[in-house]
A and B are shown apart, each in its own frame.
Chain A
Amino acid sequence: MKSKGNKTNKKAQIFAVGLVLITLIAMGYALYTFVVIKRGAEESIMPSAKLIDAYDSKTKLLFYAQESAKLAVRSAFNLIAQEKAASGDCTIDGSGYVEWSANCKPDTKEIEENFLSEFKKNYENYIEDYPEKTNYSITLDASKKNSINLDAESITINISEEEYNATFTFEPSFSIDISLFGLDLTDFEGIYSATQNCKSKDALNVKNCMIEKIKNWHIDAELKEPDLLFDLQTKQTFFFDDTFSPIKLKFKIKT
């Protein structure tokens, strides 16, 4: 009877130990699965954070490029108005008035070329300061005349962490419409033809006649025999270096 009792006791012990072991294994497996799933969830959110960072880099770069383009438009147009509005055999007097004539007059095609080259120079000066380097190809949209297209080669941002690697590639491109600044590359030819149509010995008449024909500029005309002196200023002002001022254009014609 004693041996039967011992046998039952032993069976109970084996059963109890087995139960504890099974519980231990089941709990351990559950914990392992939980840890693996948790790590997966954490890892799945990290790449999204990096991807959003990369997307933000794109936004910042595009904003900087667009702002640079705006500044470059103003500077390039200012230089054209001050130095390169007319082409040909031109003379300039001591007061800075360029004499416009049949041999020295604005040519829109040449103005466009000069403008684009000045724009590129200015734009590159600004974009050089940006930490990420990009090479934009810059073209004047032939169909729209006053629109500049800026197309960058593709930019790749590498996203890498310990356990994954990814690349975010984008091709930033945008257009700048010069006319939105109250400027027009064809203005200079228009101003020249207006002076020819309005030419007279009465400066006030000339001024009033030109005001009717020219919309982007404030016009002032003064007669200083034998010349008619013109001082034009854009109606809009622009930020240059440390202040806002209009773009100025000075020239004279023979009456």
Chain B
Amino acid sequence: MAIAGGTLARARSAGEESHAVAIVARPDLPVDNLSFAELRRVMLGDRQYWTRNLKVTLLVRAPGAHERDVVLKTIYQMSEAQFRQYWIAKVFRAEATSAPRIVYSNEMATELVAQIPGAVAFVDAAQVPKDLKILKIDGRLPGQPGYPLH
């Protein structure tokens, strides 16, 4: 079930300040929910296709961004140095043609997600535009108990 950005406010409890990080995608992405294990496979570049003809494009915030810190700590469990080396090695092993694309702001992330079929980005859950959808992780949205990215 697709969840648009405007629905997120109702999913969060009133008055809650959230630093949760949301995974956003175009509404036409044929995936609405990922298990955490599956999300990790996508982020590690082990899963590179959503469907046979729709390739995954990863957009990751530049170093220093809170969203990047959350992704590195929670999903990759890597330091900056380990993350760099991981992707250099991944490409060198011919397992991927490129590392995740770096974006420098949430606005840039959401603009590129809207333009690139198959792209996903990690943005502040409070800054998701209405025209993008938020992917659930293990059936949970940002702000719900058990949501892992914060």
Q: Are A and B interaction partners? A: no
Q: Chain B residues in contact with chain A, CB under 8 A?
A: none
Q: Chain A residues in contact with chain B, CB under 8 A?
A: none
